[in-house]
Structure 1
Amino acid sequence: MKNEFIIGDIVTLKSHPLFKDKYIKGDGKLVPPFMVIKEVFYEDKKKRTHSEELGKEIADKIKYTCVFFDDNKTEFKDVILYNSMLSEYPKTSTSKKEKESKEKEITYYIDNYEFGKNVVFITNIFEISKERESKKKITNKLVNDEGDIVIKNTETKTIQNLVNYSSPEFILCGIKKNENVNDFYPNGEKRKVISEILYKVKWFNSNQMKFSEIYLPAACFTEEQSIETKALYNLDKKDN
């Protein structure tokens, strides 16, 4: 089975509201983060994916380690999620042939490593571009020329940026080959796919009042916030 995503892809839960609408409605704290694929795991063919009792699917043959930035704790966090739980963001209309070709090559947004360079986590542009819509209804009692009371209802709409999971700029301060290696089953099939090159970045952790650093796949970072910022809802619709 071929994996749906590769290292460096930006993904989020299929339940993300921007897959359905241009704006986020409701409590912004309930919106899942955009994440980057960090590792790919292929389960053994003997792995049980269906409930023995009910025969319903309970797991995938492919899962990923995804990384996102927790802006509350000012640190990166990992989570392991199954293929069926995720969608790429923004959605692309990649053909099967293009997808198979993509699986062979990881995209690096930084052409050359340079010590001390400012870099950005590739999900940040999408996080800071999220918009939340809220509506407020106001009822006014007015007196007309005849002295009668008239009820007039008005509605105001407010659009605000929703910046949870946003990340700071980082300083590139290290590079190394991954100590782990791609893993294979005895029959030669892939068990685990990792990034060959890791970048070390440093930032100020305001939650702990200290400087923090971490090694992450090189594909997690870009030099500029120049990625297309339109919400997925707009990508699937022509401008009127």
Structure 2
Amino acid sequence: MENFVLGDIVAFKSHPYSSIQNSVFETVIAGESLLTPPLMVIGEILMHTRGSYDPKDGVEIHKKGSKSCKCFWFNHDQLQFEEAWISEKQLKLIQKSEVISQEDLLYSNVIFKTASLETGKKKSSLSSKNGTQTRVDNYILSFVAPAMQVISVKKAEEKDPKYDEKTGQQARIIDQYLAKCKWFNPKSNKFSEKFIPLALLERLPVYGAEILEKISEMVNEQTTLQIKKSGTKIPILLQVSSSFCLNGSYYLQGIDLVKNKPDSFLIEPDTGLPDTVSPILESWPKFNNHNEIISVKDFISDYLGKYRFFKIRYGSFHGEVTNRTVEGKTISDFLIFKNQEDKEKQEIKHFVGHCLLRNAVRHFRLDRIQSIQVINIKK
């Protein structure tokens, strides 16, 4: 049985999310997504020190030593917080989380702990047109809580006893402090307020004028940032195109020039912004001082041992032209038929590397490389 504590993010056992390897297993939900229960946070724990039974039929309701958890979630239809007592046997852990301190909390911005997970929840829909089926993923925002402001903090009232009077064992675990949170409720077109245990909340980062000006400058100048995300081996070169605010936090978004796909980056004021870089170090075709074109072999060889990635424009055997990002390994000779009409194989030089488009090692004939850019990421 999981040892639940205040502040844990949990779910009903039928929920498709789970806790795995200090992370959260998130999956796209197909079918009727509205039947998926909310992610919840534990705000109070009740220990059943003596157990309990149904007086009508004697069936055990709560086993001695078991626990019930008061779980909280945000009801997006009513735009209000809900709570319910649920047996620990019906719950599973989604994410462990610490309780924030009450110090300097007054007038700060906070958010319900499940907001980021609920914002990322997706549903899958299947549609058919002219006999062709397509599957589209969309976000589910059924239980996303708003960013709120703390307008007062008080000690929790202990109306019920915390210890069993017969056994002396702890019977209830409650949060020591409650934060009175205020948010705008568009359903009633006015502000709502509620006292919420601190265990349910996360502090939001504070963005000063200086960092907001920097964000604006990066968007206007289409700055490129080198970002190393934890758990990933390949850094991101994010060419910034815009910014957005999600759950009270600011993000930069743009194109990752390494993988050639959209990406975004969470700005954390306490850690600062990543380094600004020039994304492309050098390009080929390139000419020397005598206005003679440098061979593609010599060009690649000059940078192969120093820089990890090369963007190449490549023409295939069938004439298809694609843009690839390649983590370069070596230049090697391979025996192949140079042309379709050849009867004997020839040694042809190839650029060998890991192609990020195909996610596999590929051999690229040097005579079919149309252009190359050296990405400014050192080995």
**TM-score after normalising by structure 1:** 0.72
Partner of 1:122: 113
1:112-151 map, 5 Å:
112-140=103-131
Q: Is 1:192 aligned to 2:172, yes or no? A: yes
Query: Are the aligned partners of 2:6 and 2:99 in contact in 1 as well (CA < 8 Å)?
Result: no
Residue 191 (structure 1) shift: 1.1
Unaligned runs of 5+ in 1: 93-105, 141-153, 227-240
Q: Is 1:42 aligned to 2:22, yes or no? A: no
Residue 4 (structure 1) shift: 2.4
1:173-184 map, 5 Å:
173-180=151-158, 183-184=162-163
Query: Are the aligned partners of 2:69 and 2:86 in contact in 1 as well (CA < 8 Å)?
Result: yes
State the alpha-carbon separation in 2 of the partners of residues 123 and 185 from structure 1.
32
Residue 162 (structure 1) shift: 0.7
State the alpha-carbon separation in 1 of the partners of residues 84 and 187 from structure 2.
21
Partner of 2:342: none
Give the secondary structure class of the aligned counterpart of 1:219.
helix
Residue 115 (structure 1) shift: 2.4
Q: How many residues align?
A: 196
State the alpha-carbon separation in 2 of the partners of residues 4 and 48 from structure 1.
23
Query: Are the aligned partners of 1:10 and 1:37 in contact in 2 as well (CA < 8 Å)?
Result: yes
Unaligned runs of 5+ in 2: 19-24, 205-246, 250-379
State the alpha-carbon separation in 1 of the partners of residues 120 and 35 from structure 2.
17
Partner of 1:210: 190
**Residue 3 to residue 215, structure 1, CA distance change in 2 (3 Å):** farther
Residue 207 (structure 1) shift: 1.7
Partner of 1:29: 34
Residue 209 (structure 1) shift: 2.1
Query: Are the aligned partners of 2:112 and 2:201 in contact in 1 as well (CA < 8 Å)?
Result: yes
Instruction: Indicate the structure whose relative CO is greater, using CA pairs within 8 Å and at least 6 residues apart.
Output: 1
Partner of 2:6: 7
State the alpha-carbon separation in 1 of the partners of residues 2 and 47 from structure 2.
8
State the alpha-carbon separation in 2 of the partners of residues 216 and 45 from structure 1.
29
Q: What letter corresponds to residue 122 of structure 2 in structure 1?
A: E
State the alpha-carbon separation in 2 of the partners of residues 76 and 21 from structure 1.
23
Partner of 1:237: none
Give the superposed CA RMSD.
Answer: 2.8
Partner of 1:170: 148
Residue 3 (structure 1) shift: 7.0
Residue 12 (structure 1) shift: 0.9
**Residue 22 to residue 201, structure 1, CA distance change in 2 (3 Å):** same
Query: Are the aligned partners of 1:18 and 1:24 in contact in 2 as well (CA < 8 Å)?
Result: no
Residue 208 (structure 1) shift: 2.0
Query: Are the aligned partners of 1:110 and 1:223 in contact in 2 as well (CA < 8 Å)?
Result: no
Residue 198 (structure 1) shift: 1.1
1:63-74 map, 5 Å:
63-74=68-79
After superposition, give the CA deviation of every residue in 1:202-236 in whole Å (9 maximum; x if it has no partner).
Answer: 0112222221111111121112368xxxxxxxxxx
**Residue 166 to residue 21, structure 1, CA distance change in 2 (3 Å):** closer
Query: Are the aligned partners of 1:25 and 1:132 in contact in 2 as well (CA < 8 Å)?
Result: yes
Partner of 1:156: 134
What percentage of aligned pairs have identical amino acids? 27
Give the structure with higher Rg (CA): 2
1:69-84 map, 5 Å:
69-84=74-89
Larger strand proportion of the pair: 2
Residue 134 (structure 1) shift: 1.6
Give the secondary structure class of the aligned counterpart of 2:171.
strand
